[in-house]
């Protein structure tokens, strides 16, 4: 059906008013269906470049006029999640994302972050950072920091919720540093700085329970990013985060801070990479102790933690 409408545009036949709802009924599920394809790994990954050309034709015809941002963000989401058909390396994928999606978004909005209909938002930056984090570019850490700084500037200017940095974005920046930063001795400290910034931002304008519920999901990602570091001091920072969670859960009775098997597992990995087996063993014993003292078997080491002891 969409091909038929494209033929009409090409041949100058135009469109009837009743055609628009019909075409939207076809195109919106097609566009939104790309999200589900990004979350399920498949061999027949989307040819994003071809999809982008098709989307651009639809936009020129007046479709997606009120939803440019969502359409582009879906494409960036697909690119950050999947291997991209037709691209031999991450460089080409990143060039497409930045030059054919991000930069045109800025031009359409005339670089005005108050134009929320066309200007990039936090989700846009999150996907670009995620894509950079999948590369091994030497410049990736500086570039993800620059993206975060840009978004922080937009938020300071507009105070718009869609420009407000999220916990997920801070975690994606941490992960990019952990994977790509060659200055390994600087990575743990940078992750710690980002973690503190994240907590400060998440606490703005929220009561404690709301802030905790949004924050706690990022603790495990932070610990995992530290566990991937090559610096031996990373495990100490990761352990301090675990200790903070335990304090909030056991002392302050904040149940949203309850450490999980993934939390403990990340610390075990970090100790293993630092060749600090005694401390890993002590943490394993501490989990058994917590299970006995609290009567909560979820603290007892499970398969995840046993696997994380295989260094």
- DSSP letter string over 72-132? HHHHHHHHHHS--TT-SSHHHHHHHHIIIIIHHHHHHTTT-TT-TTTS--HHHHHHHHHHH
pLDDT digits (tens, 9 = 90+) for 160-190: 999 999 999 999 999 999 998 878 889 999 9
What integer pLDDT is reported at residue 86 of this predicted model? 47
What integer pLDDT is reported at residue 199 of this predicted model? 87
User: Looking at the predicted structure, is the pLDDT value of residue 298 above 70?
Assistant: yes
Q: Alpha carbon 247 to chain centroid distance?
A: 27
SS (H, E, C) 26-67: HHHHHHHHHHHHHHCCCCCCCCHHHHHHHHHHHHHCCCCCCC
Distance CA 269, CA 205 (A): 36
Distance CA 309, CA 267 (A): 10
- Best-predicted range by mean pLDDT among 16-30, 59-73, 162-176, 193-207? 162-176
At residue 220 the predicted structure's pLDDT band, cuts being 50, 70 and 90, is very high
Q: pLDDT higher for 206 or 226?
A: 226
Low-confidence winner among 2-16, 73-87, 100-114 (lowest mean pLDDT): 2-16
User: Looking at the predicted structure, is the pLDDT value of residue 197 above 50?
Assistant: yes
Q: How confident is the model over 98-103, as a mean pLDDT?
A: 93
Distance CA 50, CA 266 (A): 40
Question: What mean pLDDT value characterizes the chain?
Answer: 83
At residue 228 the predicted structure's pLDDT band, cuts being 50, 70 and 90, is very high
Whole-model pTM: value is: 0.84
Q: How confident is the model over 217-223, as a mean pLDDT?
A: 92
135, 182 contact by CB (below 8 A):
no
């Amino acid at each position: 059906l969409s091909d038929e409408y494209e033929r009409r545009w090409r041949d100058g036949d135009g469109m009837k008013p009743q055609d628009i709802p019909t075409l939207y009924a076809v195109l919106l599920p097609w566009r939104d269906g790309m999200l589900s394809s990004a979350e399920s790994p498949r061999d027949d990954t989307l040819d994003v470049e071809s999809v982008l050309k098709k989307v651009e034709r639809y936009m020129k015809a007046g479709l997606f006029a009120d939803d440019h941002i969502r359409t582009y963000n879906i494409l960036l989401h697909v690119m950050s999640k999947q291997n991209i058909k037709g691209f031999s390396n991450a460089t080409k994928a990143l060039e497409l994302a930045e030059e054919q999606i991000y930069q045109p978004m800025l031009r359409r909005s005339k670089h005005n972050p108050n134009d929320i209909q066309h200007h990039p938002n936090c989700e846009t930056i999150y996907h670009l950072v995620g894509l950079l984090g999948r590369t091994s570019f030497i410049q990736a850490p500086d570039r993800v920091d620059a993206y975060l700084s840009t978004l922080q500037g937009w938020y300071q200017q507009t105070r718009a919720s869609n420009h407000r940095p999220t916990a997920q974005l801070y975690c994606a920046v941490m992960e990019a540093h952990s994977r790509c930063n060659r200055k390994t001795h600087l990575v743990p400290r940078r992750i710690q700085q980002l973690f503190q910034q994240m907590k400060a931002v998440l606490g703005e304008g929220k009561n404690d329970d709301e802030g905790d519920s949004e924050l706690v999901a990022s603790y495990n990602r932070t610990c995992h990013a530290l566990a991937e570091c090559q610096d031996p001091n990373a495990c100490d920072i990761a352990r301090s985060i675990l200790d903070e969670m335990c304090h909030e859960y056991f002392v302050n009775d904040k149940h949203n801070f309850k450490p999980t098997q993934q939390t403990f597992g990340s610390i075990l990995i970090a100790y293993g990479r630092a060749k600090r087996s005694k401390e890993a063993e002590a943490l394993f014993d501490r989990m058994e102790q917590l299970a006995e003292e609290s009567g909560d078997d979820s603290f007892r080491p499970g398969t995840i933690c046993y696997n994380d002891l295989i260094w």
